[in-house]
Amino acid sequence: MKKVILASGNKGKLSELQSYLTRLNIELVPQPKTAEYDVEETGTTFVENAIIKARHAAKLSGLPAIADDSGLMIDALDFQPGVYTARYAGVGCSSQDNIDLILKNLKSYPDLEKRKATFICVLVYMESAIDPLPVVSLGTWRGAIYPKMMGEGGFGYDPIFWDFKHQMTAAQMSKELKSELSHRGEACRKLLDKLSARYKSLMAQSQ
């Protein structure tokens, strides 16, 4: 299998992504949890930050890299936390800290219709650190912020992200249902299609 480094140490992301990339004979390996792999996300968009992370991981590892930059955009909060989703409550904060701050800031909006939000996932694949044509895919998931935590599954904001159609939070869903509905699932499927097309094109050119 072709080894590709994931520019993240998040086990949840690794598991979700690997389930798709196995079809392309790709083995996804997490980046080492060492300080040199930490990179400052200086971009103002999800795409910029994903490219920064993918390029950095590819440069250090010598492997092709995939980076994920995901976020939550809440309508009533002027689409915050956006690119600051992972550190909404401050640098070094926990997922619980972030959730607590979100719920606090939405206290004046008791109606779910006023608490609508969108999960965003941008995935970037780079064959090398100098790849001039990164493969980029985007996935979205529309829902709302539930006023309390529900469910034991998932990670991050999943316990408060409400799906209107299925009347449950992302943390209450089976892995299969979440993969079908989620922003990351959509981005993965799109990335899979784009990588398949890229490999077929390269193979055709080499013949």
Q: What's the pLDDT band for 197 if we cut at 50, 70, 90?
A: confident
The proportion of the chain whose per-residue pLDDT surpasses 70, expressed as a percent, equals: 96
- For residue 12, the enclosing domain spans 2-206
Residue 198 is predicted with a pLDDT of 76
Number of domains observed in the structure of the chain? 1
Known catalytic membership, residue 69: yes
Number of H helices, E strands in the chain: 5, 8
Interatomic CA distance for residues 20 and 53, integer angstroms: 20
Catalytic residue of the set 69, 131, 158, 163: 69
Structural contact between residues 78 and 19, judged by C-beta atoms closer than 8 angstroms:
no
Mean pLDDT of the chain: 92
- We report the CATH number of the domain holding residue 12 as 3.90.950.10
pTM beyond 0.85: yes
Average confidence (pLDDT) over 57-62 = 97
Given a cut of 80, whether residue 203 has pLDDT beyond it is: no
The DSSP code for 182 is S
Average confidence (pLDDT) over 136-146 = 98
Residue 166 is predicted with a pLDDT of 98
Interatomic CA distance for residues 33 and 35, integer angstroms: 7
